Amino acid sequence: MLLVSAPVLGEEEKAALAAVIDDGWVTMGDRVREFEHTFARMHEAEDSIAVGSCTAALHLILHSLGIGPGDEVLVPSLTFVATANAVLYVGARPVFVDVESASVPLMSLDDAEAKCTSRTAAVVLVHFAGYLAYRDAWQSFARRKGLLLIEDAAHAPGLPAVGTYGEAAAFSFYGNKNMTTAEGGAVIAHSRSLRETIRRARSHGMTSNTRQRLTSRRPDYDVTMLGFNYRMDELRAAVGLAQLRKLPEWNAIRQRLSLSYRQLIAEHCPLVLVPFEALWPSTHHLIPVVLPTSTRRQHIIDRLRKRGIQTTVHYPPVHRLTFYRDLYPDTSLPLTEQFAQRELTLPLHPRMTQSDVEMVVSTLAAAIGDEFPVGAVA
């Protein structure tokens, strides 16, 4: 099966894990700190904080910024559910915002403007599929409205522009991301004081960790705030350091494959829309396509699967999931809903070759041909 995503793990990662086991220190320690410095340098930031997941990163950012009960936070519905969940974790209310269009399935500034109220405290931008949101426009919007600006950068590690939009950015290293630590995440924050608050909150609000107490030879510590167990361990950090060394090359491969997809789809599947412009700043985490209106998407999925090609959907709109539909039954996002009904995500990862892309597109073209024979109107 040609998978939608596949981690690239090998001898370097095995050796890194073995070295941690041989050292005997497996919880948060020197490798975590090295990973934080290395990740920060890649994004031209002063520092970063490694955590257990991107969800933890989002929760810590919102918590540390003081977002809470009575506040509203603008979020897209075209995202993974964790984006909205993190808002509920701090007792605030997620307000779902529609996308701009099928060609640019990023959160709409116009709809965000319409949904701002006196209770709106923050906006969480999602760099969907690795394609960056409009920085200048959103910064201007946030300043004008007095909002905190946060990036959900789960899809976008490796671009220096990421993490520069507002207060902080949350990253994911889950197994299907551009680089992986199996589970894991990180925060980049502009303010040193915010970073220190997040760093302390990730470990129960404690004033020192186990390694620091060992080094200082003092067993005592204090707890100065409400905190959580959101730490990254040495095993994941070791894998992450090996992955970071290869991330620029992998992102470049993704870019080449994405451009090839665009060219071949334009030639062989002219009824299929590939969102975003070819030169849009991106880490090319996903290759989403929009099928023609009235297409039986399951038929396309089945045809590709018979050829050994996995596909998926990014995403079922969060506001249409049972939990959120019950919470906010009157939410309607027409453009998000239309996009989600027609979107299909094709395989894209560094293990793929040009011939893989050609095989996917030729199979897609044949399946589209079944739906829309020559002479038929889409």
In degrees, to the nearest 5, what angle opens at C-alpha 21 toward C-alphas 20 and 22? 90
**Cα 301 from Cα 268, distance rounded (Å):** 18
> What's the token pair of residue 67?
């977002």
In sequence order, what E strands does 136-225 have? Answer: 148-152, 168-172, 185-189
> What's the token pair of residue 97?
């915002």
Q: Which residues contact 36 (CB under 8 A, 6 or more apart)?
A: 47, 48, 49, 50, 186
Q: Which residues are catalytic?
A: 177
The answer to whether 106 and 113 are in contact (CB under 8 A) is: no
Exposure b/e, 312-331, CB count within 10 A at least 16 = b = bebbebbbbeeebeeeeeeb
The answer to whether 363 and 377 are in contact (CB under 8 A) is: no
CB atoms within 10 A of CB 193: 9
**Cα 37 from Cα 154, distance rounded (Å):** 19
In the block, tokens 């991301």 appear at 177
**Cα 58 from Cα 64, distance rounded (Å):** 10
